[in-house]
Amino acid sequence: RSAAARGAFDGHGVLADGTEVPLLANVGTPDDARTAAGAGAQGVGLLRTEFCFLGRDQEPSVEEQVEQYTAIFEAFPARKVVVRTLDAGADKPLPFLTDTEEPNPALGVRGYRTDRSVPGVLARQLEAIARAEEATAAQVWVMAPMISAPSEARDFAAMVAAAGLRVPGVMVETPSAAVTADQILQHVDFVSLGTNDLTQYTMAADRMLGSLAELNNPWQPAVLRMVRLTVEGARRAEASGKGPRNVGVCGEAAADPALAVVLVGLGVHTLSMSPRALASVAAVLRSVDLPTAQALAELAVEQHSAEEASAAVRAQLPVLA
């Protein structure tokens, strides 16, 4: 492994030919945010707001939320912070939002869908995020989890605008969102691929089941093809006259250095990951130029299993040998 892979991240994600790939951090609390800033993260690509309030049986007050979000934004002055609205349900139950008696929680009322079953919580959260943004210098982007239809992106964008926030986006975690990304991006400015859930729903393999790990693997060519469809959708939205449409990845896939190369080769613009993965991802990205990353992405999507895709790409990355 190169010196950079063993050392610290220098705060600049870039390919060998100078193509910028901003490397952001996934965080859940003010402590996490300070750790991420110390590790050199160029911003926050995923703030899992539910982590601030796990185990609570009451909705946090707007004041309490403003305090938490402000502390997080203050760790990244003038940097991008992508705030995800509460993602409750399935693997992350929040008693004030979710019904734990559903027969199929992963396919149930979770993520953005809870705005219908418990109206008001999302609007109050957006108000708190807007107040925290006003109090700090962070560039706040805000996105909804578990989106399945372009109409949901449209409704969310309207709520974001009503709260006075400027940059709406949604997560691509379902195959339906990936295949309608062009329509979704008529309504919102960016998407972030949540490859943990996107893998679970594309492969129809529960992310909580270790026995399905081979299927539940973001190297699966079907998952990579979903990423490609999303990027193509973003390009179509841009071609139709919309402004730049950022496509990020904030699932665990972004923390696997070889897979990070493939994601960039597929056309992903930014990667967000656990702060401890930043240095090793940055080192491998620096070893390839964009045409090489694109060729490796093509190689990966043509394979017939996750294992073959991963092995084929790794064999072509001398820095990982």
CB 17 within 8 A of CB 290: yes
CB 199 within 8 A of CB 274: no
Give me the catalytic one of 86, 203, 250, 288.
Answer: 250
Q: Is 250 a catalytic residue?
A: yes
207 is in an annotated binding site: yes
Binding mask 217-246 for Mg ion (x = CB under 5 A): ------------------------------
Is residue 270 at the binding interface for ligand PEP, with CB under 6 A as the rule? no
Half-sphere exposure for 172 (CA within 13 Å, toward CB): 32
Strands (E), the chain: 23-27, 43-48, 80-84, 139-144, 167-172, 190-193, 246-249, 270-273
Is residue 196 at the binding interface for ligand PEP, with CB under 6 A as the rule? yes
Query: Considering only residues 59, 87, 133, 182, which one is a binding residue for ligand PEP as defined by CB under 6 A?
Result: 87
**Distance (Å, whole) CA 88 – CA 78:** 29
> 18-23 — which CB contacts under 8 Å span 24+ positions?
19/264, 19/289, 19/290, 21/264, 21/269, 21/270, 21/271, 21/285, 22/80, 22/269, 22/270, 22/271, 23/270, 23/271, 23/272, 23/273, 23/278, 23/281, 23/282
The DSSP result for 274-292, as a single string, is: -GGGHHHHHHHHTT--HHH
Binding partner of residue 169 among ligand PEP, Mg ion, none, CB cut-off 5 to 8 Å per kind: none
Report in angstroms how near the CB of residue 153 gets to ligand PEP at its nearest. 17
Is residue 59 at the binding interface for Mg ion, with CB under 5 A as the rule? no
Query: Considering only residues 59, 115, 173, 256, which one is a binding residue for ligand PEP as defined by CB under 6 A?
Result: 173
Work out the number of other CB atoms within 10 angstroms of the CB of residue 19.
15
Token pair for residue 121?
A: 């919580």
Is residue 252 at the binding interface for Mg ion, with CB under 5 A as the rule? no
Query: Considering only residues 89, 105, 194, 257, which one is a binding residue for Mg ion as defined by CB under 5 A?
Result: 194
Work out the number of other CB atoms within 10 angstroms of the CB of residue 252.
18
Sites for ligand PEP among residues 24-53 (CB under 6 A): 46, 48
CB 229 within 8 A of CB 191: no
- Choose one: 99-107, 115-123, 190-198, 220-228; the region binding ligand PEP (CB under 6 A): 190-198
Sites for ligand PEP among residues 90-129 (CB under 6 A): none
Report in angstroms how near the CB of residue 207 gets to ligand PEP at its nearest. 8
**Distance (Å, whole) CA 106 – CA 224:** 21
Report in angstroms how near the CB of residue 3 gets to ligand PEP at its nearest. 30
Is residue 197 at the binding interface for Mg ion, with CB under 5 A as the rule? yes
CB 29 within 8 A of CB 234: no
Q: Which is nearer to ligand PEP, 176 or 196 (CB)?
A: 196
Containing 202, the helix (H) or strand (E) segment is helix 195-203
Is residue 248 at the binding interface for ligand PEP, with CB under 6 A as the rule? no
Report in angstroms how near the CB of residue 145 gets to Mg ion at its nearest. 6
197 is in an annotated binding site: yes
10 is in an annotated binding site: no
- Choose one: 2-10, 193-201, 214-222, 293-301; the region binding Mg ion (CB under 5 A): 193-201
Residues at the interface with ligand PEP (CB under 6 A) = 46, 48, 87, 173, 194-197, 250-251
Residues marked as catalytic: 250
